[in-house]
């Protein structure tokens, strides 16, 4: 769900940047009628360079912010995993101690065949929970990586679109 909302935010930012680029070009078109041909080409070149610099700066700032957020999310996942592992081990120790006490109070030994099997079963069940949590944490980290990769792809797309639009404008002049 977080990845979808991040993608929506990125697309919203793309729309905002496209609107900014469009306003730059409309300002250029107004200036174009006032200037001569060579002045128009120089003005167009400067406007294009400015638009590209602004786009790259905005993209870099957005990417840096996304990477910082991703780092925080990864740190939270790691901290949560460590906390869960500590809690899992403590719960396993308590459960095993409780089971040993029950065996002792009934006159059985925890190292007997059935007692050992019960304790081993408790350990395996706890280990399966740990493995499941690790897989889930891996998926969360993959989602974070995909979010950053999507942002990079959108950035490349935006830059390419701007370059193509600038080429077209240069040809039309």
Q: What span, in angstroms and rounded, lies between the C-alpha atoms of 7 and 66?
A: 11
Which spans in the chain are helix H? 2-34, 37-105, 113-172
Q: Give the Å distances, CA to CA, from 64 to 21, 59, 73, 106, 152.
A: 21, 8, 14, 63, 11
* DSSP at 1: -
Q: How confident is the model at residue 127 (pLDDT cuts 50, 70, 90)?
A: confident
- Residue 160 banded pLDDT, cuts 50, 70, 90: very high
Q: Mind giving me the DSSP string for 97-125?
A: HHHHHHHHHTT--TTSHHHHHHHHHHHHH
For residues 50 and 25, the model is more confident at 50
The average pLDDT across 49-62 equals 96
How far apart CA 60 and CA 47 sit, in angstroms, is 20
pLDDT in tens, 69-120: 999 999 999 999 999 999 988 888 888 888 878 877 776 665 565 666 777 7
């Amino acid at each position: 769900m977080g990845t979808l909302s991040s993608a929506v935010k990125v697309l919203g930012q793309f729309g905002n940047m496209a609107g900014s680029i469009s306003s730059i070009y409309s300002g250029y078109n107004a200036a174009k009628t006032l200037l001569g041909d060579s002045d128009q080409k120089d003005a167009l070149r400067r406007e294009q360079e400015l638009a590209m610099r602004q786009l790259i700066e905005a993209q870099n700032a957005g990417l840096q912010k996304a990477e910082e957020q991703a780092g925080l999310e990864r740190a939270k996942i790691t901290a949560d995993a460590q906390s869960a592992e500590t809690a899992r081990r403590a719960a396993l120790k308590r459960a095993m101690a409780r089971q040993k006490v029950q065996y002792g109070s009934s006159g059985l030994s925890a190292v007997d065949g059935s007692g050992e099997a019960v304790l081993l079963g408790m350990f395996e069940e706890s280990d399966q929970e740990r493995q499941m949590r690790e897989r889930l944490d891996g998926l969360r980290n993959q989602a974070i990586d995909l979010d950053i990769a999507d942002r990079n792809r959108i950035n490349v797309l935006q830059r390419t679109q701007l370059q193509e639009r600038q080429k077209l404008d240069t040809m039309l002049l």
